[in-house]
Amino acid sequence: MGKLDGKTAIVSGSGRGIGRAIALKLAGEGANVVVNDLDTDPANAVVEEITKAGGNAVVCAGSVTAEGFGERFVGTATSEFGGLDIIINNAGYTWDSVIQKMTDEQWDAILDVHLKAPFRILRAAQPVISKAAKAEKEAGTRVYRKVVNISSVAGLTGNPGQVNYSSAKAAIIGMTKTLCKEWGRYNVNVNAVAFGFIETRLTSAAADGNSTIEIEGREIKVGVNPGLLAAAEMMIPLGRPGTPDEAAGAVAMLTYPEADYVSGQLLVAGGGFEA
């Protein structure tokens, strides 16, 4: 018996990295999972991994910033699995510049993916959640649902070159605390996890400084200079970056029944590093 048997989860940005680890962990506890990625192939690969292990999963590919995506994401959960119990707003990337060099396009792109997209997904989920909660109340039952929004230590203390990302990650904390108050009447626990330094393709060392990924037609520079990476490791009390599986564990435990009375909280998964 898994902790999430019979539950249905949607996890944005779950074709790779931390999102993939979250999807696998929730599925391993028995949840049906809707896997999302910009690209179909990585999403399909995660679904295949889940189904081969005996779990249930389907793909909802596409950009979380696209018009109508929130409704399609939520609709996939309800049409394929008959409901929605867990929402993980994880999708995102960084596009860095100091403020005097940051363009409106950079600002808007990062705010859209890290803030507007979660807002739209949660807005689309509200009618489904409120209808289910009303039916459960009339039946005399209480079912807890979970929202976990992904923030960052950059949203707590700022980070040079990331005024867009830091602003979005700070704002998602405000969204979390507000939704905790709005959705408590539906028995929904709304929490956030702020990651510290987690090793993914977006943070891996880039010795040549030229590592990029393509996001919706844009070439985005990624990676961390090895010197900065070494300095960061020295500042982490546990002495190392976290792994995607460790990041996923921090998220997953907030979806378990043991967290039914935890809401409106921010959990920092940073190996002791917060500033």
Q: Which residues are catalytic?
A: 165
Report the run of H or E that residue 75 belongs to, with start and end.
helix 69-81
End-to-end CA distance of the chain: 40
Q: How far apart are CA 189 and CA 55, in angstroms?
A: 24
The dihedral region occupied by 202, where left means phi > 0, alpha psi between -120 and 50, and beta the remainder, is alpha
User: Computed over its alpha carbons, how large is the radius of gyration of the chain?
Assistant: 18
- Strand order, beta sheet including 8-11: 57-59, 32-35, 8-11, 86-89, 145-152, 188-195, 266-269
Q: What angle do CA 217, 45, 210 make, to 5 degrees?
A: 40
Whether 127 and 65 have beta carbons less than 8 Å apart is answered as: no
Please state the length of the chain.
Answer: 275
DSSP assignment of 125-178, as one string?
HHHHHHHHHHHHHHTT----EEEEEEEETHHHH--TTBHHHHHHHHHHHHHHHH
Helix, strand, or coil here: 260?
coil
Contacts of 106 (CB under 8 A, 6+ apart): 95, 97, 164
Which CA distances in Å does 100 have to 107, 150, 156, 221, 222? 12, 27, 22, 18, 20
